[in-house]
Amino acid sequence: MAEQQQASRQDRAAEVEIAISKMLRIGIVLAGLVIVVGLVLFLVTGDSGYPGDTFPTSLPEIWRGIVELKSVAIIEAGLILLILTPVFRVFVSMFAFIHEKDYSFVLISILVLVILALSFALGKVGA
């Protein structure tokens, strides 16, 4: 009985891990491709789309740059995808733990997300 419990716990853990691993792969492949497209465009045209060494740092500006196919804006979109990947990873694991009814780890995931949101909000104020 104890052995069975142990085995099912292992299986459930494996499902959470597969979900996290898949999510991470999608994140890095997507980010990598977008960065490659932007970087190649930048090197081939030699044009960042922005004057001098400047580049946009707000989401609306970057979005406008992407629509206008500006190389640096495309690179930035890829970098944003890369930065968001670990945060999404915590999200995905929260849902995976809910699915596996592993509530202590659902709580842990939520706690990490709240702390991350808090640190981002505080950082924004400081910056």
Partner 1 sequence: MNKGDVCLTATVIEILLIAILAGIVGSILGLGGGIVVTPALTLLFGVEINHAIGASLISVIATSSGSAVAYIRDRITNVRVGMFLEIATTVGAITGAFLAALIAPNFLYYIFALLLLYSAYAMVKKGKEEIPVNVPQHPVAEKLGLGGEYYDKALGKNIAYNVDRVYEGFGVMYGAGVVSGLLGIGSGSFKVMAMDVFMKMPLKVSTATSNFMMGVTAAASAGIYFLRGDIIPVISAPVALGVLIGATIGARIMQRLKSKTIRKLFIPIMIYVACQMIYQGWGA
Could you list the beta-strand ranges (E) of the chain.
none
Shortest Cβ 43–partner 1 spacing (Å): 5
Looking from the CA of 14 toward its CB, the CA atoms found within 13 Å total 6
Residue 94 near residue 16, CB atoms below 8 Å: no
Angle made by CA atoms 29, 66, 52, in degrees to the nearest 5: 110
Q: Establish if 108 lies at the interface with partner 1 (CB under 8 A).
A: yes
Residue 55 near residue 48, CB atoms below 8 Å: yes
- Residue 107: phi and psi, rounded to 5, are -60, -45
Q: Which of 7, 8, 15, 21 binds partner 1 (CB under 8 A)?
A: 21
Residue 71 near residue 45, CB atoms below 8 Å: yes
Shortest Cβ 91–partner 1 spacing (Å): 11
Q: Which of 2, 51, 57, 101 binds partner 1 (CB under 8 A)?
A: 57
Binding track over 87-106 against partner 1, x by CB under 8 A: x-xx--x----------xx-
Residues that bind partner 1 (CB under 8 A): 9, 13-14, 16-17, 20-21, 24-25, 27-28, 31-32, 35-36, 38-39, 42-43, 46, 48, 55, 57-58, 72, 75-76, 78-80, 82-87, 89-90, 93, 104-105, 108-109, 111-112, 115-116, 118-120, 122-124, 126-127
